[in-house]
Amino acid sequence: MLTQYEYDNISSQKSCYSSDTNATVSAIQRYLTAATTTAPSSISSSRIQNSPPEIQVQSSTKEFLAKHFHDAYPMFKKPRGLCLIINVYNINGAIRRWSDLDVKLLSDLFRQLYFNVIVYSDFNGDDLGAENFMKILKQFSQSKEHVNAQCCIICLMSHGEEGSLTVQDGKKIYHDHVFDLFSNVNCPNLAGKPKLFFIQCCRDDPGVGPVDDAGCHVQIPLNASLDDLVFDDECDSMQRHHLPTMTDMLIAFPSQKGFTAFRKPHVGSWYMNALVDVLARHAKDTDLCSMLNMVNGCVSREVTNKGKKQTAEYKSSFTKKAFYFFPGLTGNPMAPIDYSIHNRNDVNRIGSISRINNIDHQHDSSSMNFDIIKTFFIGNLLDKWKNLARELDVNENDIDIINRENVSPREKFSLILDIVAKTRDNNLRQILIDMLKSLQQCRRMSYYYQLQQMIAPYYPDLQ
């Protein structure tokens, strides 16, 4: 039995997924042809997917990373985080044919983007009834691996209607219940980190039933432009130590509210195929929202043999200017610095200022000490010394007095940092804890992660 309007989805072989090159199309077709002749056990029984890749994700350059890193969410760890893929293949006997091919493509894509991929599918014998489906999601949302992760991806695939998807036993799982599991309240380990949801299901209106988009034919003037309708109104409403309940989420759907989503025989869904191809080719130098616009364009150009159309959409509550995957790049995103020997003249000069203020900073048995931390802050964050001083609870009068001193900004910042140390009894651990918090509050996350890496050998518990 054909389901999810598969009877109407015997579309032409022409595809937009790689309209500017045949190479990726060939790779996808080879991959999917092999997949269709493989037994269901071909997907590893292990939850972490490690099969050889077929889709080739193109890598970013270090120059691109350096140019865009400060405006984007940090994405440089390996792994970046976890990716959960749940595919409901059989719903009370109704088979979602070829949906297993979407699983293979998505697994391959996100593995190459440095995510640990976890797959559940009743195609492999997993129980995806409503109770166990929610249990899987709850356990995943509470995973301790999110603590050190930089991102999280959830891909859910099944039949559905607006606001819900249908699971193996025919019961509904409401989208909002899923999203709520990953709120800043219920999932603090992912608070402030991007959480990406890709949901492959129809969005029929429950009161109306499935609706097809027959499309329309319009003429658009060649010189038409919507630039005059675009406004840029940026504001910063983040309060100290206070986040909204739902932030940093991107939720993507294959169709608009009320409409059907299609699959192509022996290939998989229009949407997931377009998503995989666009990300594989463009993640190297394009932000995620721009890529999803490209995916929407690909999907909207598809058509069934009965003239039916589909338009994808997404919504975002991102709090950063952009999200880049930075594929192929790992480790500290900034130029490495050997802090044990770097800028010894500056360390000595800054140290002399500290001695003038009669401050004897504690040293541990390693090479890590407060002078090194000062060098890091002064060398990288001089333009934010007043903001950091306030975040570190330096008295406003002291800030004002130091600001009026006839000394260089570097020396002013050094004096501020000496006050920070003195008010914490020169306890280096407490100083580092508060400095990490101050970098978060000032939204200097690249330096936050640099400082974490710098102190990791000496204070692993502060990671």
Write down the pTM of the prediction.
0.59
Q: How far is CA 428 from the centre of its chain?
A: 33
Domain 6-316 fold is Rossmann fold (3.40.50)
Distance CA 311, CA 50 (A): 32
Q: State the pLDDT at residue 152.
A: 97
Give the CA radius of gyration of the chain: 26
Domain 344-462 fold is Death Domain, Fas (1.10.533)
Q: How far is CA 331 from the centre of its chain?
A: 17
Distance CA 16, CA 105 (A): 17
Closest by alpha carbon to 111, among 280, 268, 233, 269? 280
Residue with tokens 């840029």, as numbered in its chain = 232
Q: State the pLDDT at residue 151.
A: 96
- What amino acid is encoded at 178 in this protein? V
Count, residues in the chain: 463
Q: How far is CA 124 from the centre of its chain?
A: 27
| Segment-wise mean pLDDT, segments of 10 residues, the chain, 463 residues | 35 37 40 40 40 75 86 91 93 80 91 96 88 95 94 91 85 91 91 92 58 44 34 30 74 74 68 90 95 87 74 87 93 46 37 39 54 86 86 88 87 90 89 88 80 83 75
- What amino acid is encoded at 346 in this protein? D
- Do the two domains 6-316 and 344-462 of this chain adopt the same fold? no
Distance CA 458, CA 61 (A): 31
Q: How far is CA 185 from CA 237, 318, 320, 463, in A?
A: 19, 17, 20, 21
Task: Measure the CA angle with vertex 96, ends 93 and 98; round to 5°.
Answer: 135
205 three-class SS: strand
Q: State the pLDDT at residue 327.
A: 95
Distance CA 385, CA 234 (A): 24
Closest by alpha carbon to 89, among 171, 172, 174, 3? 3
The domain limits of the chain are: 6-316, 344-462
Residue with tokens 């099944």, as numbered in its chain = 158
Tell me whether the omega of the peptide bond preceding residue 265 falls within 30 degrees of 0, making it cis.
Answer: no
89 three-class SS: coil
